[in-house]
Structure formats: C-alpha cells, structure tokens
Amino acid sequence: MAITAPAAAVAAATAYEQLHVPALFRQFAPLLADAAGIGAGQRVLDVACGTGVVAREAAARVGDDGRVCGLDAAAGMLAVAAQLAPGVDWREGDACALPYADASFDAVTSQFGLMFFPDRARAAAEMLRVLVPGGRFAVAVWDALERSAGYPDLVDLLERRAGRAAADALRAPFVLGDRDALAALFRDAGASTVDVVTHHGTARFPSVRALVEADLRGWLPVMGVELDDDLVESLLAAAEPLLQPYVTPAGTVEFDAPAHLVSGRRATP
C-alpha cells in the first residue's frame, strides 16, 4: 500500500530512525523476535511498528516463504519504514482496532508502543484475536522511570523549567513498569501462558546535546508539547552538567535502559 505523509512528519520519522533507533530501540528487536519464536515461512504482524526495526528483523527471519505486516498510527513513520523495507506490507491503523482477520498471523510483536495506546486491554485482545490458536506474541515496554537512568534527571529538569506538560510527555514512555500489571493485562485478554522477562538494555547517544535535543525537538512535539527555541537552548545548557555522570571518555552518553518483555501464546481451543 502506498504511504503518503506530510514532509514534516517524514522528517521527524527520519530523525527518529537515525537517532532513537540505534540509540535505544534496535537492541531489543532480536530479543522480541526470539520471544515471539519467529521463524522461516511464518506470517508476522508488528503492531506500532514505527520505522520498522522489528518488522525488518522479522522479515529477515521469515524469508521468502513468509509474510510480514507492519501497522502504525503515524503515516510519517510508515513512509520511512516503506523506503527501508518495501517488501513488508505497511498499513496505517489503530492498535485497538487491527484491520486484519481473526487468526491470520503465526506471531505478533509490538515494541515500545503499548504505553501510548488509548485502550491497552483492547489492544492486547486485538493482538490475541489476530493470532492463530497457539501463536506467540512478544511485547516490549520500558521499565519504570525510577529504574531508568538518565531520564529521571531530565524529567526533573523539565518539571522545574518547562512545566508539568513537558515533564509528563517524557514520563509517558515509562508508565508500564509494573511487571505484575503487565502480565495481568495479557492474561485477562485471554493469553494461555504469559512470561515477563526484564532485559538490561543500554541507551547510547553520541552526546548529551544529541540526547536532549532528540527529546525536546523530536519527542515532545509528538506528544503535543512545543517549546520555544530560547527555552530549548537553556534546557540544553542545563542538561550538560546533570548528565555528566553518564558521559564516557569518548564523549558519548551511556546509561541503563531496562525494559520488560512480555510474551506468551493465544490459547488453543
């Protein structure tokens, strides 16, 4: 399906692919594919696929006899995804109302999207609905903010200098840190087996400026928060000393980025 998106949305998604994906997201894609048991010849759906880092991993594993679909709510993300992997079936849509038939996939993945879905229980039920009985799902979410290094300092800075809405936009990715609640979400949706494993990932950014700029100019606008240029510049300056503990001798920034990976199966009748 041809994907069209406004130039600004494509530019934002290109920046996401170039900075956030290598810094944070790419390392989890093989873990998700392993947990979902993705193998040759399978039909795989990646929900909230973004620019497609997990879908590309799945496509490499299913090979020519398999089929991969990637669904996202953001046309800009999909436009970039389609440039990078034209062989995947990309589609714009809502995770809470998947536009696919019942039992049409062998495996379903979703990486760092669940926290943004308006109805998470509905989305979990939808992932199970489109799986064949016995089919596997694997979903990744970030651990709680207080167990994620680097970001608590930034949230605190935003709260003090840019206000509650800006701080909440940066808190949003970390709201699903409770492992028991995560498991219950999928059990209640009808999964037959549910496991939650915490992986100790690492955030790796080229510099403090690159990290903070990506969040202020890239992430906050996605969450509906626009800061003026003077405020962004003053926040960038204030963040430098705050994040010094995470600066390596080479000048890059590295810190723990733990994530929970919940996986399981659709029950067999």
The contact set with ligand SAM (CB under 6 A) reads: 21, 25, 48-50, 53-54, 72-74, 77, 94-96, 111-113, 116-117
Specify the residue, 72 or 143, whose C-beta has the smaller distance to ligand SAM: 72
**Separation of alpha carbons 250 and 28, rounded Å:** 24
Nearest to ligand SAM of 98, 239 (CB atom):
98
Burial degree of 171 (CB within 10 A; 0-12, 13-18, 19+): middle
Nearer to ligand SAM, 202 or 249 (CB): 202
Nearest distance in Å: CB 91, ligand SAM = 10
Min CB(249)–ligand SAM separation in Å: 29
Provide the Cα torsion 117, 122, 127, 130; round to 10°: -130
Cα within 13 Å of Cα(157), Cβ side = 21
Identify residue 56 by its one-letter amino acid code. Answer: R
Minimal distance, residue 133 CB to ligand SAM, in Å: 24
Nearest residue (CB) to ligand SAM, 49 versus 212:
49
Distance CA 101, CA 115 (A): 24
β-pair type (89-92, 105-111): unpaired
Number of residue whose CB is nearest ligand SAM: 50
Q: Is 96 helix (H, G, I), strand (E, B) or coil?
A: coil
CB of 240 to ligand SAM, least distance (A): 25
Residues 40, 30: Cα–Cα separation, whole Å = 15
Local structure of residue 28 (DSSP, 8 states)? G
Q: Centre a 10 Å sphere on the Cβ of residue 65 and count the other Cβ atoms it contains.
A: 8
| Residue among 73 and 236 whose Cβ is closer to ligand SAM | 73
Q: How far is the CB of 81 from ligand SAM (least distance, A)?
A: 9
Q: In whole angstroms, how close is the CB of 121 to ligand SAM at the nearest point? A: 13
Nearest residue (CB) to ligand SAM, 73 versus 132 = 73
131-142 vs 253-266, strand pairing mode: antiparallel
> From CA 106, how far away is CA 15, in angstroms rounded?
32
